[in-house]
Structure 1
């Protein structure tokens, strides 16, 4: 069974982003997290990360619907 809380590096690895990007998501309130311990280390609950990912799928689907690729197929970058 996976741990309930994840370190920022683990979240960064899971999302394939940098730790500084995760820090920004946490500090902006986009990704809920808590500070624990005397040194105030950030921890992200796995369930909250999964909620965040689902929310991003919904936001992306909405954006795609609102911004169709009509006549722009030659501009698609397959590496994205």
Structure 2
């Protein structure tokens, strides 16, 4: 059974980005997270991470549709 909440380092590993990039995404509100414990450690709920990934797929698809390749055949 996978844990419900992930450390920022776990999220970084899942997304193949740096820990600092994930921290920035959390602090900017781009990726929902919670602070827990006396030291205020960040945790990202796995479901929120999956929603974030789906949102990024949709944003990327929209960007690709709005920015077609010039000469996709290499002519």
TM tier relative to shorter chain: over 0.9
Q: Which runs of 5+ in 2 are unaligned?
A: none
Structure 1 moving runs of 4+ over 2 Å? none
> If the length of structure 2 is used for normalisation, what is the TM-score?
0.94
Residue-pair matches, total? 74
Q: Which runs of 5+ in 1 are unaligned?
A: 75-80
Q: Output the CA distance in 2 between the equivalents of 1:71 and 1:39.
A: 54
Q: Output the CA distance in 1 between the equivalents of 2:55 and 2:29.
A: 14
Superposed CA RMSD in Å reads 1.1
Helix, strand or coil for the counterpart of 1:10? helix
Residue 32 of structure 2 corresponds to residue 11 of structure 1: no
